[in-house]
């Protein structure tokens, strides 16, 4: 067990180093940082002095080591655009994106898993066919179109829900949350649905496929032959076995949801990291882009680590093999 976690952690360190290297290369080699920091009126001598001060003349390896070291200490550099510390900018944006991503994930799980189970147990039912068709439409339409359609119906036509921004938020320490006000929740619903639809479809289809396979397995047939009550059969025996492979995909997808919330955030003007990233691209704000890359990679690594641990929790075979 300890060995397993240690191995994963070491792998994670290498992934993070690789991403940090990419971010660093972006910063160092896409254009000259000095020309981007300074205006036309800065003299060449001043530019050279700045270059020396910032250590840009040092050997490459040394610069990378310093870049990584600074990051580890929480020093992410300064934005070209706003002249603020990047760490601060990201920190104010992270809560918005995380809350959006988590709510989208929960929607996809709480709708996707029951729908998957239902469609697996009644493969020929009318409702099943309807759900399958609807979700097919769901994946086929691009996210931004879904977002715009939701805004049109619920925001503009019916006027039930706000169409942009986070609504009312409350500061909890350094964390700006929309979970504590009705307004915040109202503003959260549409973007979360938009972001969750794709993951919902995927979860549902995966659960359905796995569940149908598990229902054919010997242990389910044996449990049926012993007269285990149907409820337990479906939800204890079958569902647990279904979730083992499904969890991996959900985990990978959650990383994706956080990373690719860019589209949703821009449709709903959601002040999260995705929107920040888009703004940074427009202004070639390379330090912010680099840090965004590192932060997103960190989420991916973290989520996958959690998934690996969940695996061990669910499946006793992995646990025991390690002990013996």
Binding mask 5-34 for other proteins (x = CB under 8 A): -x----------------------------
Reported as type and span, the H/E element at residue 138 is helix 126-140
CA distance 43 to 51: 12
Q: Is 98 in the site for other proteins (CB under 8 A)?
A: no
CA distance 120 to 203: 13
CA distance 257 to 105: 8
CB contact set of 300 (below 8 Å; sequence gap of 6+): 255, 259
- Binding other proteins (rule: CB under 8 A), the pick from 219, 235, 269, 278 is 219
- Binding other proteins (rule: CB under 8 A), the pick from 241, 253, 261, 264 is 241
The residue (of 49 and 221) whose beta carbon lies closer to other proteins is 221
- Binding other proteins (rule: CB under 8 A), the pick from 121, 132, 223, 310 is 223
DSSP 159-217: --S--SS--S-EEETTEEESTTSHHHHHHHHHHHHHHHHHHHHHHHHHHHHHHHHHHTS
- Binding other proteins (rule: CB under 8 A), the pick from 60, 221, 235, 283 is 221
What is the closest distance, in whole angstroms, from the C-beta atom of residue 104 to other proteins in the complex? Answer: 28
- Binding other proteins (rule: CB under 8 A), the pick from 134, 141, 240, 302 is 240
What is residue 73's three-state secondary structure? coil
What is the closest distance, in whole angstroms, from the C-beta atom of residue 226 to other proteins in the complex? Answer: 4
Q: Site for other proteins (CB under 8 A): how many residues?
A: 31
* Cα dihedral 253→258→264→265 (10° resolution): 180
Q: Is 3 in the site for other proteins (CB under 8 A)?
A: yes
Other CB atoms within 10 Å distance of the CB of residue 98: 17
Q: Is 323 in the site for other proteins (CB under 8 A)?
A: yes
Q: Is 189 in the site for other proteins (CB under 8 A)?
A: no
Site residues for other proteins per CB under 8 A: 2-3, 6, 217-219, 221-230, 232, 236-237, 240-241, 244, 314-317, 320-324
């Amino acid at each position: 067990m300890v060995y397993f976690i240690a191995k994963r952690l070491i792998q994670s360190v290498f992934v993070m180093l690789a991403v940090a290297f990419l971010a660093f290369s972006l910063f160092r080699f896409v254009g000259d940082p000095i020309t981007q920091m300074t205006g036309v009126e800065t003299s060449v001598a001043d530019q050279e002095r700045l270059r020396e001060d910032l250590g840009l003349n040092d050997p490459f390896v040394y610069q990378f080591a310093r870049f990584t070291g600074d990051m580890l200490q929480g020093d992410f550099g300064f934005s070209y655009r706003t002249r603020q510390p990047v760490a601060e900018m990201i920190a104010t944006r992270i809560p918005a994106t995380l809350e959006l991503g988590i709510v989208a994930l929960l929607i996809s799980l709480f709708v996707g898993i029951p729908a998957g189970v239902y469609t697996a147990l009644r493969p020929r039912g009318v409702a099943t066919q309807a759900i399958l068709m609807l979700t097919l439409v769901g994946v086929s339409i691009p996210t931004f179109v879904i977002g715009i359609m939701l805004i049109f119906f619920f925001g503009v036509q019916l006027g039930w829900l706000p169409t942009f921004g986070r609504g009312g938020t409350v500061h909890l320490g350094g964390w700006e949350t929309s979970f504590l006000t009705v307004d915040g929740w109202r503003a959260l619903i549409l973007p979360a649905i938009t972001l969750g639809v794709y993951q919902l479809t995927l979860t549902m289809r995966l659960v359905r496929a796995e569940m149908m396979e598990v229902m054919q397995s010997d242990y389910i047939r044996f449990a049926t032959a012993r007269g285990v009550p149907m409820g337990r059969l479906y939800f204890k025996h079958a569902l647990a076995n279904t979730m083992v492979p499904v969890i991996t995909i959900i985990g990978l997808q959650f990383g994706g949801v956080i990373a690719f919330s860019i589209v949703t955030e821009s449709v709903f003007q959601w002040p999260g990291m995705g929107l920040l990233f888009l703004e940074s691209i427009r202004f070639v704000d390379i330090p912010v882009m680099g840090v965004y890359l590192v932060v997103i990679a960190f989420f991916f690594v973290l989520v996958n680590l959690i998934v690996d641990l969940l695996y061990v929790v669910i499946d006793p075979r992995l646990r025991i093999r390690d002990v013996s």
